[in-house]
Amino acid sequence: MINFVNHPIAKNALAKLRNKNTELKEYREYSKILTYLIAVEASKKFPTRDIKTNTPFEEVISEVFDFDIILLPILRAGLSMVDSFLEIFPEARIGYVGVRRNEDTLQPEEYYYKIPEVYENTIVIILEPMIATGGTICQTLGRLQLDNINNVVITSIICAPEGFERILSEFPLIDMTTAALDRELNSKGYIIPGLGDAGDRYTGI
């Protein structure tokens, strides 16, 4: 299942990120805004539980989070999404996964993986600004499954249809949230129309 962030603020922020003339400071600001909205959309079905709350006037029944969160940014671009998620989930724990392409086999290979202890009520949120072929995400999902971690949500800023189709073909029940499903991958594997290299533009490299 794929969920889209369909809000004027999100559309404006994405337009700023796509613009090749958007400078570093502004790019970071709009990346943070858009990621915040992605976090809100991705979490709208997360479970809550009722508690009793004493207001200044009376006792009421309120709803609070009933889950544990682990943020799992894919290095390095995924780090750009962490701060916005922490504004909503300040108690979230953070893991890290690093995947790179083997230049001989052209297949994704894990070079780093570290994740906090997962509990029965843990939701793992993968943070990956750009999903192109889907290889990195599928590699990460497969690695999580080896650890019997199945309550996983994918979040991205943009996604290519090729990557989306691959992910759903291998993991048909996965939940994804993105701001845009772009047109295609070009012959070099870049997302079109895209926004360039999210990691480079965020870090200024």
Active site residue 105: yes
- Helix-strand-coil split of the chain, %, nearest 5: 35, 35, 35
Using alpha carbons, list the distances in angstroms from residue 144 to 4, 72, 94, 116: 24, 11, 14, 12
* Residue from 101, 122, 175, 203 carrying the catalytic annotation: 101
- DSSP per-residue letters across 149-190: ---EEEEEEEE-HHHHHHHHHH-TT-EEEEEEE-SEE-TTS-
Owner of token pair 């490299």:
205
CA 30 to chain centre: 16
Cα angle 86-121-116, degrees, rounded to a multiple of 5: 55
CA distance 7 to 13: 10
Q: Based on the residue annotation, tell me whether 122 is a catalytic residue of this protein.
A: no
Among candidate residues 143, 166, 197, 203, the one labeled active-site is: 197
Annotation says 101 is catalytic: yes
- Give, to the nearest 10 degrees, the angle between helix 161-170 and helix 135-146: 20
Which residues are tagged catalytic? 101, 105, 197, 200
